[in-house]
Amino acid sequence: RMVEIGRVVYIAKGDNEGKLATIVNIIDGNKVLLDGPASGVLRSVRNLKDLQLTKFKVPIRLQQRTKNVEKAWTEAEISKKWEGSTWAKKLAARKIRSTLTDFDRYKLMRAKQARNRLVKVELAKLKKAARKA
C-alpha cells in the first residue's frame, strides 16, 4: 500500500481515533493533509505515524474540495466496503468484547465449554470408527 492522494486511511491515534479519512495532499515524508467529510473528520494535517493505510482508494485529484471528496467517497461506497472488511469486523468484535460484564464473560466461557465438549465427543466417535475399520 502506497501513501498516495485518494488513499483511505484509518486514524489509529490522536483526534478522531478509529475513524476513516482520505489523503488529499502529501506535505512531506512524514505528514499528509486529510479530509473525511463522510466520517466526520475535519480537514487537517496529520503525521503518518498516527495513520494506518487501508486497501481502499478514492478517485480524487490533488487538493480537491471537501464536497468533491465527499461525493467521490459516496460514489465509491467506501463506508459500505469498510464495514464488510475483516479489519472492521475485528475492531467491532474487540469493542463488543471490551464492554462485556462479568456475567456475560461467564456465559461466554460456558458456551465455549459446551462447544468444546461437542467437538470432543464427535472426535472420539470418528477415532472409534477409524479403529474399527
State pLDDT tens for residues 57-84. 999 999 999 999 999 999 999 999 999 9
What residue has cell string 461506497? 77
- The pLDDT of residue 133 is 85
Cα–Cα dist 44/113, whole Å: 49
Q: Are 35 and 69 in contact (CB under 8 A)?
A: yes
- Distant-in-sequence, close-in-space partners of 46: CB < 8 Å, separation ≥ 6: 11, 14, 21, 31, 32, 34
Q: Cα 1 to the chain's mean position, in Å?
A: 15
State pLDDT tens for residues 88-129. 999 999 999 999 999 999 999 999 999 999 999 999 999 999
- The pLDDT of residue 44 is 96
Question: 28 pLDDT exceeds 90?
Answer: yes
Question: 1 pLDDT exceeds 90?
Answer: no
Sheet of 7-11, strand order: 41-47, 31-36, 20-26, 7-11, 51-57
pTM as predicted: 0.80
Q: Are 50 and 3 in contact (CB under 8 A)?
A: no
Three-state DSSP string of 96-115: HHHCCCHHHHHHHHHHHHHH
